[in-house]
Amino acid sequence: MGEIKSRRATAGDAVTIPRKTYEAMLAEIEDLQDALALKTAQSNPPESYLPFEKAERILEGECPVRVWREHRGLSAAELAEAAGLSRSYLSEIESGRKTGSAKTLAAIAKVLGLTVDDLI
């Protein structure tokens, strides 16, 4: 890095540094942000990720509840029972005929290990 010129700091004082030093500092900050993002991503368990192919199904309009249920390896009957729902009500949610109440989506999200936001 180049030499940094500064004077005694007072309120409203400015520090002047060469552009090359400034750009090097920005690059270092970006590297640190990338390292932090990687560490954060690595601390999340892999099961919290949805593979691209499954995420694409949601983007194409398929019900997130169904996609996540299948990703977790649960049958509709298993999810319905664990969430305290009737199988027919879950079917209506997965087919898009009903949206499900906030309470219902919270119960489904809990069973799937997700947040409600992941399902809407």
Mean pLDDT of 94-112: 94
In angstroms, how far is the first alpha carbon of the chain from the final one?
A: 48
Mean pLDDT of 37-53: 74
Average pLDDT along the chain = 87
Dist CA 69 CA 82 (whole Å): 12
> What are the extents of the domains in the chain?
16-46, 50-119
Write down the pLDDT at residue 93: 95
pLDDT one-digit tens code per residue, 8-21 = 666 678 889 999 99
Find all residues with CB under 8 Å of 18, minimum gap 6, and list them.
2, 3
pLDDT one-digit tens code per residue, 28-38 = 999 999 888 88
To the question of pTM greater than 0.75 for the whole model, the response is no
Q: What is the 3-state secondary structure (H, E, C) of 85-109?
A: CCHHHHHHHHHCCCCCCHHHHHHHH
Contact 88, 78 (CB under 8 A): no
Judge: domain 50-119, CATH 1.10.260.40. yes
